[in-house]
Structure 1
Amino acid sequence: MRTQDRASAARTSMAAGAVPGERLPTPPRERRPALAALAALLVLAGALGATVLVLRAGDRVEAVRITERVPAGERIPESAMESVLVAEDSAVNYVPWGQRSQVADDLRSVTDLVPGTVLVGEMLTGEASLPQDEVLVGVSLQPGQYPSGLAAGDTVAAYWVGDDDAPGSGDETSESAPPPISDDVIADPATVAAVHDGDGGGGNSALPVTLRVGADDAAALTRAASNGEVSLVIVAPPGE
């Protein structure tokens, strides 16, 4: 009888001491500001890293693009510039966006700049203006009238390729007609100030080119250019 009483008492004690599903209390969590700050820094670093990867994707660089017309010889205000991402090309001297202030303060355009033009170094000069004996002349060249790879900065000779003896020579009595061209050479040397399609001679369409020539050659060159009768060849720079 005593054994049964002891077993019954043990079962009663176990039933009263344990409640199914009850959890032990947990201590309150400690706030750790240092860990929160570290997490924020990690998020920021990840965002910056993603930005760098995007900029580097496809080897793109941030360059200057013109937003309003700038005449030749004028300064380019910062208000006329905007940032643009372009494909990096070692053969193209893009003006970095970070140098826009230097461009606005110290440099001038060597040719007319129109909205949408991506600025390259050959379009700029540190000279206050063109020398009095030089002018800028625009010509539009068809395939076969310029060498492949023509680029700003090249030294060229301009030849007349019309059917007559010289452009305007049919009216020799006209006081406005330029003098005849000797050996069909219009200007030698001349400097390519800008190649406006950006590919230096690619494609099958006309290639607009701005030439820097002596003032004495301007009339004959302009007349020949208006008739599409100009051809360019690259020559060695003077003194070489």
Structure 2
Amino acid sequence: MTTDISGTVADRQRTRAGRRAASPGAASQVSPPRQRRPALAALALLLIVGGALVAGLLAVRMDSRVPVLVAARDIEPGAKISADDLRTARVASEGLDLIDEEFAEDVVGTYATTSIPANTLLDQRMLATDDPVPPGRAIVSVPLGGKVAPGRISEGDVVQVIRTTATDASSKPEVIGTGYVLEVSEPSTDDLGAATEGPIADLLVLDDAALSVLDAVQSEEVALAITDTGQKPDIPLQGPSE
């Protein structure tokens, strides 16, 4: 009796092939582990440390800010300071002559020695305990631009205030009066450093000349001519009729 074993052998071969395929040695080669990147790890650590240092410096700077007095609105030269003229702001005031918030009561009742725009940090040079405007005199502010010779006029100068254009075209420029330069303010700038306002000269003039000077300033018809330097505020002044 003959037994056909071809089918059985074939079955066994297929079984062995299946076992070999399922064995660990026949599995696909495992990818090697990823290489570590020490440079990236060091950079991440540096960023973390740098961020912590920046945060610490900001905290220190915030701690060094102190509340100081600020002009809450525009204050005219010679004006008496009231509580409504003041507000506070926190700034780093080291090396500056700014006035701490705790002295607010002392500032109320003093006088502005110059024109103080709103939001200006107050310092001691802007204020006086005595009225800086003697009887019969007034303080006017004259922008120093164009024909007013900016950069040449300084505190202590005596100037002629001149109206450069009259209503009658045939008229010559006229002298409105003389003035004493109390102070010349620095030009103001914005956050980008661009000039927003030029320098301003605060002049002490006679009462009867003040309105004429302000009118000439408003119509941009004013010019200043220096006649003397290094003088005191009590120097005699002249009005338009003298």
How far apart, in 1, do the equivalents of 2:174 and 2:90 lie? 47
How far apart, in 2, do the equivalents of 1:62 and 1:110 lie? 23
Change over 3 Å in CA distance of 1:50–1:141 after alignment to 2: closer
Q: Is 1:96 aligned to residue 100 of structure 2?
A: yes
Residue 83 of structure 1 aligns to which amino acid in structure 2? A
Contact 2:158 2:179 in 1 (8 A): yes
* Cα displacement string for residues 145-189 of structure 1 (whole angstroms, at most 9, x for unaligned residues): 3453867xx22233456656xx568698xxxxxx942xxx84243
Deviation, structure 1 residue 115: 3.0
How far apart, in 2, do the equivalents of 1:211 and 1:150 lie? 11
* Cα displacement string for residues 110-133 of structure 1 (whole angstroms, at most 9, x for unaligned residues): 456443122122322212573221
2:214 maps to what in 1?
222
Residue 231 of structure 1 aligns to which amino acid in structure 2? L
How far apart, in 2, do the equivalents of 1:205 and 1:83 lie? 22
Q: Is 1:77 aligned to residue 83 of structure 2?
A: yes
Deviation, structure 1 residue 236: 0.4
How far apart, in 2, do the equivalents of 1:131 and 1:206 lie? 28
Deviation, structure 1 residue 218: 2.2
Change over 3 Å in CA distance of 1:98–1:141 after alignment to 2: same
Deviation, structure 1 residue 214: 2.5
The partner residue of 2:181 within 167, 170, 190 is 190
Q: Is 1:64 aligned to residue 64 of structure 2?
A: no
How far apart, in 2, do the equivalents of 1:114 and 1:69 lie? 4
1:7 maps to what in 2?
none
How far apart, in 2, do the equivalents of 1:73 and 1:157 lie? 23
Contact 2:160 2:224 in 1 (8 A): yes
Contact 1:190 1:213 in 2 (8 A): no
Residue 218 of structure 1 aligns to which amino acid in structure 2? A
Give the gaps of 5 or more residues in structure 2: 1-55, 236-242
1:155 maps to what in 2?
156
1:213 maps to what in 2?
205
Change over 3 Å in CA distance of 1:51–1:121 after alignment to 2: same
Contact 2:70 2:119 in 1 (8 A): yes
Change over 3 Å in CA distance of 1:65–1:138 after alignment to 2: same
Alignment size in residue pairs: 171
Report 1:104-119 matches (<5 A): 104=108, 106-111=109-114, 113-119=116-122
Give the gaps of 5 or more residues in structure 1: 1-48, 173-178
Contact 2:144 2:150 in 1 (8 A): no
Contact 2:163 2:174 in 1 (8 A): no
2:61 maps to what in 1?
54
Change over 3 Å in CA distance of 1:168–1:218 after alignment to 2: farther
The alignment partner of 1:94 has SS state of coil
The higher-RCO structure (CA 8 Å, 6+ apart) is 1
Change over 3 Å in CA distance of 1:163–1:51 after alignment to 2: closer
The alignment partner of 1:117 has SS state of coil
Residues 204-213 or 135-144, more deviating? 204-213
Deviation, structure 1 residue 205: 5.1
